[in-house]
Structure 1
């Protein structure tokens, strides 16, 4: 009898341990990711080679289970975030992923724009339609459109911006049906959706989607940036430096391993990001010698100051460099002596 009890207890304990792995808590955990060399994933046709490397840095983000939550509690460089600090209101995890991938795509567009303008080369854009980021529950588009869909025709008409698309939909009366032509997983579909008033905000009608422009940048020589499933906007600065370096004869790396982070705007401004301490850990492990960090114009709790603190705590020999603009980063690198 006692043997059966032991067996039963062991079986129950095993089930509990397995369940703890798959049971999700209402938190996300972020931890140090990787520092990835950019030259293999960014290619300017007939571009110049470099002796060193620019590297993007990442964090790993995932939903917490009991084990990962406990581990993060005792780890200095793992962060715990409540779900509502990661997901927008009504946003699903799938939609969050789509949003992060769009932010990465936008970072690549901005980086290309900044680098080519700095190199004195023309930049133009091609508008492809609108990109669905989020579908609001209980609104007409729910269950018909999904995050990641690209709408490129409305009632057979094309538009040159998302604002024109929205203006057209707003001309409809509540209950009127609109036909949307969209692509999903490289397949083209049509769907008819009736518009209805929004319950909150200004009195207007719509179908209940959050959207952004879907556009591509046209440059010569052409550039390819292959990021696979890396999401978010934080690689913008490093993308722009890698693209510019391949466009120009003088090698900005000077033979060094240069990591960094920061968003990039089309005017060249460098913006702050999350997880700077974890990115310092990742860059240090990858052997980076220099780390470019958003300065936030000298703000007290800037990314730069947090990066300095983290580098000191882990005993890193990396030089942490504050930057507010792309031009500042280029000017610093141009003054570096050859290694």
Structure 2
């Protein structure tokens, strides 16, 4: 009897422990990711080689289970965020992941434009349509469209920007119909949807999607950026530096291992990101000697100041450099002495 009771208790405890791995909590955990060399994933046609490396840095982000939650409570540089701070209202995890991948695509376009214009080369864009980022529940698009669909025609009309699409739909009245032509996994589909008022904003009507422009960049020489499943916009600055370095004969790495982070817009302005502390840890582990951090025009709570504090806490020899623009980074690299070979 005791043996049966023991075995039964053992299996019950085992089930509880295993179940804890698969029960999701309403939290997300972020922790240090990796620092990845960019030369293997960015290829400018006939681009120049470099002695050192530019590296992007990442944060590992995932839904919490019981164990990861408890681990984050006691471990340094692991952060816990309520789900509502990560997901947009009504956003599913699938839509969140697609949003992150699109933000990465946008950062690549901005980085290419910044680098090519700095190199004095022409940049052109080809508009492909509307990229659906999110479908709002209980609106006409729900159950019809999906995040990731690319709308390229409405009522037989093709547009040159998402603004034109929004303006066109915005002129419709509640009860009107629109016919959409779109691609889903390379298959063309059509759908007729009605225009209805938004539940939270009755004075505004639409089909119930959030969207962005879907476009591709045209440059010569050709450049390919293979980021696989890496998401988010925070690698923009480092992308632009790697691309520019391959476009120019001068090697701006000068033999150093250079990591960093920061969004970048088409004008070369560097913006703040989340998880700077975890990225400092990741860069230090990867052997980075220099780290570019968004300065946010010297704000007291800037990424740069948080990066400095973390660098002191982990006692790294990595030099933390404040950056507000792409040109700031280039100016620093130009003045930097070449690394002495050991």
Question: Could you say which TM-score interval applies, normalised by the shorter chain?
Answer: over 0.9
**Per-residue deviation, 1:155:** 1.8
Match of 1:47 in 2: 47
Q: Equivalents in 1 of 2:128, 2:19: separation in Å?
A: 45
Q: Equivalents in 2 of 1:161, 1:144: separation in Å?
A: 22
Are 2:291 and 1:295 aligned? no
Superimposed CA distance per residue, residues 292-329 of structure 1 (whole angstroms, 9 cap, x where no aligned partner): 00011111111111111111111111011111110000
Q: TM-score by structure 2 length?
A: 0.97
Q: Provide the aligned C-alpha RMSD in A.
A: 1.0
Q: Equivalents in 2 of 1:248, 1:26: separation in Å?
A: 48
> How many residues get paired?
339
Q: Equivalents in 1 of 2:57, 2:75: separation in Å?
A: 20
- The more displaced of 10-19 and 189-198 is 189-198
Q: TM-score by structure 1 length?
A: 0.98
**Per-residue deviation, 1:202:** 6.8
Match of 2:210 in 1: 210
Other structure's SS at 2:153 match: strand
Q: Equivalents in 2 of 1:309, 1:200: separation in Å?
A: 42
Match of 1:143 in 2: 143
1:212-291 equivalences under 5 Å are: 212-291=212-291
Other structure's SS at 2:34 match: strand
Q: Equivalents in 2 of 1:171, 1:89: separation in Å?
A: 26
Match of 2:100 in 1: 100
Match of 1:160 in 2: 160
Q: Equivalents in 1 of 2:46, 2:59: separation in Å?
A: 32
Q: Equivalents in 2 of 1:258, 1:247: separation in Å?
A: 18
Are 2:73 and 1:73 aligned? yes
Superimposed CA distance per residue, residues 120-163 of structure 1 (whole angstroms, 9 cap, x where no aligned partner): 11111111101111100000000111111111111222101111
**Per-residue deviation, 1:177:** 2.5
Q: Equivalents in 1 of 2:260, 2:205: separation in Å?
A: 44
Q: Equivalents in 2 of 1:239, 1:83: separation in Å?
A: 29
Match of 1:3 in 2: 3
Q: Where in structure 1 are there 5+ consecutive unaligned residues?
A: none
Match of 2:87 in 1: 87
